[in-house]
A and B are shown apart, each in its own frame.
Chain A
């Protein structure tokens, strides 16, 4: 009898200790649309997770699930994370937006952070980076480097983030090279190396000698490398292994400071629902090393553009800019607003000069 009581007491004490230990540790979940080894988008989000672990040490425990399809699966994964005691969940793809809102409604005590979306709630923040600033720099370089005047663009899904990137790159390419033409291929995937390589090959076969991508694998870089005379840009991650050519520069997503700050807010009890949209100036968007494959004068002008964006002297969307149908979008000297009618956040149109329709 005594033995049973002692065993029971020890077990209860163990549970209590575990509960206290759990209270001291903040549990953070990450849900990824691709594999952590994609070399691009998910890789950089995972670098942010690792930075959180390194910064907080034993004060936090992180968990992640990779390659989660956008849709009902995402909802199930986040529900399980919340049930498993997550205090904060980062859902890192646009297509996780509605699942995040749905799960957040069921778990009001859990904090959620959704990347690149626009729906907020009391316990849901949104955050994104102004990738279009980086695309503008890429367009500036691409427009001057192309000899065929054909730039290929591998797009993922027709969401505002991707359309902004296409428009920003096109406008800056056109500004330095009026003869430039964009060929756009919609892959309808964030990550499919074979399809991305195929898309790059198709664009190269149709005359493109510069490839931009808004998909997550390094496959287009490999396809360009095989072709031999095609320049590319790293997407979401540096992709420096393909430098100095074909990869001549890159957009780097730096999520670490944001993830650390938001985790700290949860630990401190100061977390509240916010909307963050940072770019080159705060460091959320980094521009990877512009290699020596880029002529010195082009490199210098690109670096000057980066500085003017950083200082706020230049906005990539400054009028006069017309929509594809010829109607005025921005008057001379006018800069695009973030929100509202025809704002950047909801951009669903091409600018004048781009051929083809935005998929609906």
Chain B
């Protein structure tokens, strides 16, 4: 066993990268669920974002435009879910699952001509002065821009839900849509906007995989990341701060166990491999679980 081969600075830096796609998808789904909608189509929206982002990035030569394309692609797929569940009143669970299957198939079709193509690289930012701080600099301030965009989105969502009037309305709709409707709030409009925001974030998470973390387009490349994101939302008790902790915990332990394996750690590989899931469950048990939004998953009938 040679633990000296593990560079703790690189380990902590890669933790942030590993957590970013899950964090982006999860923060979008958190907003959706706080509005009272359960969208199980995160995986489908992520993979659609991955392929849209890749196609736009390759076509334009700009990773930034790729991420914008991914957000639009994810939001468009989410709006389909929104239309079906909010206006045609279809079952949210069934529609979400269908969205995942649809997204996987659609992305495979769209990405057919893009297998084996290299996307434009997204260089790491070396933030002046901050990036030069010993230890902390390489860990926190030398990443690609999307790591910081992800953190900003989490911060913005936290502030939006906690301090803004619009955030209060969104939470009210999620807690009791009938009461919110009685007060004159447009429940369907609020939920549609939340759903589209969730889709855009999932798209960004998917594009992070195809443009930064892997970086290439491969069919089915999200490989369950969307389901992890859904679990992280519940783990976080629908709170953005806890969500950040959950994503970093899961991403961090995943990276750590791979490092420990490579270093020849004397812990059986089976235990190391299940450690990200185990750690998440243990922390969830220790932390006091929050209550789900009151109207989560319930269909809203304006006529009632």
Interface residues of A, Cβ cutoff 8 Å to B: 34-39, 66-67, 152, 158, 183-186, 188-189, 191-195, 197-199, 201-203, 205-207, 217-219, 222-223, 225-226, 241, 355-357, 359-360
Contacts and interface: CB of A to CB of B under 8 A. Distances in A.
Given A202-B258, A219-B214, A222-B214, A194 B223 contact: yes
11 contacts: A36-B108, A37-B218, A39-B116, A66-B220, A67-B104, A183-B262, A198-B255, A217-B221, A219-B221, A223-B214, A359-B268
A222 B223 contact: no
A37 B262 CA distance: 29
Given A38-B220, A198-B14, A356-B264, A206 B259 contact: yes
Contact of B269 (A36, A38, A197, A357): A357
Given A185-B262, A206-B6, A359-B268, A194 B21 contact: yes
B7 interface: yes
Contact of B214 (A183, A191, A193): A193
B258 A38 contact: no
Chain B: interface size category: 35 or more
Interface of B: 5-7, 10, 14, 18, 21, 104, 108, 111-112, 115-118, 121, 209, 213-216, 218-225, 254-255, 258-259, 261-264, 268-270, 273
A283 B259 CA distance: 37
A193 B10 contact: no
A209 to B, nearest CB: 14
A30 to B, nearest CB: 16
B18 A38 contact: no
Given A195-B254, A360-B270, A36 B261 contact: no
Nearest to B256: A202
Contact of A184 (B5, B6, B104, B261): B261
Residue of B18, B263, B269 ringed by the most chain A CB atoms within 10 A = B269
B270 A199 contact: no
A262 B264 CA distance: 44
A217 B213 CA distance: 14
B139 to A, nearest CB: 14
B218 A219 contact: yes
Nearest to A356: B264
A198 B223 contact: no
A206 B223 contact: no
Contact of A34 (B5, B209, B220, B255): B220
Nearest to A66: B220
Given A193-B214, A226-B215, 5 more contacts: A38-B220, A194-B223, A198-B258, A201-B14, A202-B262
Given A186-B273, A226-B215, A152 B262 contact: yes
Contacts of B10: 205
A218 B117 CA distance: 11
Given A152-B262, A355-B264, A197 B213 contact: yes
A124 B258 CA distance: 38
